[in-house]
Structure 1
């Protein structure tokens, strides 16, 4: 029997999961990835050990769902008739700087994911390594390289 109701888990970690989904698949598919994450989590929640790191567990699920959606998106045509709605800038720091999403999109997948999981979700590199299937050192390096690349992209954009 879980101590915390699942609704409380969603309320506590929902915003973090949404930011991770946005960073991995972009703002258009982020809500779908978020929904899929919590549907999967709801099914698995009764079996989750009491001492589990719930946030890391949810980010792992979000990573998998986002990758699934990204693969599905790459196989289908994307309509461009409408512009996606803007998110609330107070809820998401990156919404205050739309260039951040463009800069994140330019990063290689491993770097983008490592930056999102560490700097947006706040996960330690040991947990990021499990999600990405590499070592903590490789996860740390990918995040550092991603941040370095983001800094150079911003310098390029400012000089243009």
Structure 2
């Protein structure tokens, strides 16, 4: 049987294959509380745009780009609507996170935005620095430096982190 490598898989297969990566990225970029919304918004937008996506496109990079934009939209919206409450409601995302995840979330959240994004996109999504540079609208060297600075900070503030990844 001859299979055409340029035929796109069904969208359900894309979600199954890349859903966890998108989840880790949005959680690292905007935190576990808003990650559910960013994840859903990402895949809703991707579903609408998927028919126009070229068959040979890098789907993971495409999804991370959408996730980046949706996370920024949610963060901006939250900043405009923030209202203090005495007892915030429980979040389904909080139930999935254990203490280790929350410590890591706090350490990653404390990073400056470009470092946090570069670390998430490279170490969680596995994107090469060239694609991260496009997402962050910076140079490859700046993306690499932001990730390196972020990891250096995490090594100091969160010593249990595993940063082993194949660097290109």
Q: Same fold (TM over 0.5)?
A: yes
Query: What is aligned with 1:12?
Result: 17
2:89 to 82, 88, 99: 82
In structure 1, distance between residues paired with 2:35 and 2:67: 10
Paired residues, number: 150
Aligned-residue RMSD, C-alpha: 1.7
2:76 to 71, 75, 91: 71
Unpaired stretches in structure 1, ≥5 consecutive residues? 90-94, 156-160
The alpha carbon displacement at 1:55 in A equals 0.3
Question: How big is each residue's C-alpha offset from its partner over 1:105-139, in whole Å with a ceiling of 9 and x where there is no partner?
Answer: 11000000000000011100000000000011100
The alpha carbon displacement at 1:154 in A equals 2.8
1:102 equivalent in alignment to 2:106: yes
In structure 2, distance between residues paired with 1:52 and 1:69: 26
In structure 1, distance between residues paired with 2:36 and 2:101: 19
Query: What is aligned with 2:129?
Result: 125
Query: What is aligned with 1:158?
Result: none
Query: What is aligned with 1:26?
Result: 31
Taking structure 1 as the reference length, the TM-score comes to: 0.87
The alpha carbon displacement at 1:88 in A equals 5.8
